[in-house]
Amino acid sequence: MQHKHHYVAIMAGGIGSRFWPMSRTSYPKQFLDVLNTGKTLIQWTFDRYAKFIPTENIFIVTSEEYVDIVKQQLPQIPVQNILAEPSKKNTAPCIAYISFKLAQLDPEATFIVAPSDHLILEEANFEKITIQALDFVNNIKALVTLGIKPTHPNTGYGYIQFEGLEVANGVYKVKTFTEKPTLEIAESFLSSGDFLWNAGIFAWKVSTILAAFEKYQPEMYELFDQEKNAFNTDQEHKAIQKIYPQCTNVSIDIAIMEKASNVFVIPSSFGWSDLGTWNSAYDNMEKDYFGNAVASDNVIVIDATKCMVNAPKDKLVVLQGLDDFIIVDTKDVLLICSKEKEQSIKEYVAEVKRHKGDKYI
């Protein structure tokens, strides 16, 4: 059942540089069909929430330069629900923006904040846990995050440690947040049993998160508070242009979650992946008999195994003799990279920028 005070803010401002060369600054991965499913990642995210949150209560926070792409890919979203950030300032300003806007619209609002580019395979389970989070924060002044039960010692994710005692059905108090650990530390986290992956999905009442901003980020709170009467009027754009240059570039984890004492977590499993890298896309795609994941109808594979291939549909690609490679072909860039080197793609992008400027970025 849909609830009129439930909202979701989908964050869609990132540039997805680890999915280069398919993901570009002008058209990043959240707007791409990375897994060759017929839907882009942001469309999957919208559809997932639209099942239990009214469309008019779904907001997208994105960069000014992506507003037209959002309108094109999600025509069902009211135009006033697309929030345009004038610059990329990480997640704290983005969450402050939607929080102040919602507070003016509906002081009773309870809302979810979620990335636009994650994969969730078990949607019914996800819906159940999300509603559980919304119900919990509705009754208690709590900041809730969804923690993913780890399946292996991943060094690319942040971790959340939780206390052993349940405070409500399936809800635990958070002890610590840890940034991406070394393999050794990740292995010890896994064996201890009280650590979860940080999925970056949050739930809170609008009044609770604003109180947290006021307490832990008073300067940022003040910037938005001074302009709050402009929100949901034709002065909003002008107000945001004034606020953003003065905001600190900081994540919500560092700005608030690591400081606050009323942070709780729901240990969850719903087939989650942050789809952060080509390897994670490979893991979630159908593969042929030789373990190749091919996102194109026009690729011929000969004597190649465990490769991730993404190519334009109108281009014939013949692949022979490669083992464990990422091959991504676009209209103007071809990337051929060993799978074990995929964490270096960001460095390769910096190298391209150094030698060729912004043309291919």
3-state secondary structure of 361: coil
**What's the chain's average pLDDT?**
93
Condensed to tens digits (0 to 9), the pLDDT of residues 105-129 reads 999 999 999 999 999 999 999 999 9
Three-state SS for 251-286 is: CHHHHHHCCCCCEEEEEECCCEECCCCHHHHHHCCC
Length of the chain: 361
Q: What is the mean pLDDT of residues 197-218?
A: 96
3-state secondary structure of 87: coil
Which of 295, 294, 298 has its CA nearest to residue 316?
298
> Taking each helix axis from N to C terminus, what angle separates 206-216 and 91-105, rounded to the nearest 10 degrees?
130
- pLDDT given at position 179: 86
Distance CA 196, CA 265 (A): 9
- pLDDT given at position 361: 92
Condensed to tens digits (0 to 9), the pLDDT of residues 27-57 reads 999 999 988 889 999 999 999 999 999 999 9
Supply φ then ψ for residue 92, to 5 degrees. -65, -50
Please give the structure tokens belonging to residue 323: 């083992």
Q: Specify whether the CB–CB gap between 94 and 253 falls below 8 A.
A: no
Which of 104, 115, 47 has its CA nearest to residue 80?
104
- pLDDT given at position 31: 95
Condensed to tens digits (0 to 9), the pLDDT of residues 63-102 reads 999 999 999 999 999 999 999 999 999 999 999 999 999 9
- pLDDT given at position 122: 92
Distance CA 90, CA 249 (A): 6
Note the maximum CA span of the chain: 64
Considering the entire predicted model, what is its pTM? 0.93
Specify which residues 8 forms β-bridges with: 58, 112
DSSP 303: S
Q: Which residue in this structure is represented by tokens 């945001």?
A: 240
pLDDT at 202 over 90: yes
Q: Specify whether the CB–CB gap between 21 and 360 falls below 8 A.
A: yes
Q: What is the mean pLDDT of residues 220-246?
A: 94
Give the whole-number percent of the chain exceeding pLDDT 70.
99
Binning pLDDT at 50, 70 and 90, where does residue 166 land?
Answer: confident
CB atoms within 10 A of CB 110: 23
Q: What is the mean pLDDT of residues 198-204?
A: 94
Condensed to tens digits (0 to 9), the pLDDT of residues 299-336 reads 999 999 999 999 988 899 999 999 999 999 999 999 99
Q: What one-letter code names the amino acid at 349? A: V
Which structural domains are found in the chain, ordered by start? 6-273 (3.90.550.10), 286-356 (no CATH)
Q: What is the mean pLDDT of residues 233-254?
A: 94
Burial class of residue 143 (count of CB atoms within 10 Å of its CB; 0-12, 13-18, 19+): buried
Beta-sheet pairing, 82-85 with 58-63 = parallel
Give the whole-number percent of the chain exceeding pLDDT 90.
79
- pLDDT given at position 1: 57
- pLDDT given at position 167: 85
Distance of CA 190 to the CA centre of its chain: 23
In what order do the strands lie in the sheet containing 293-295? 293-295, 308-310, 325-329, 334-338
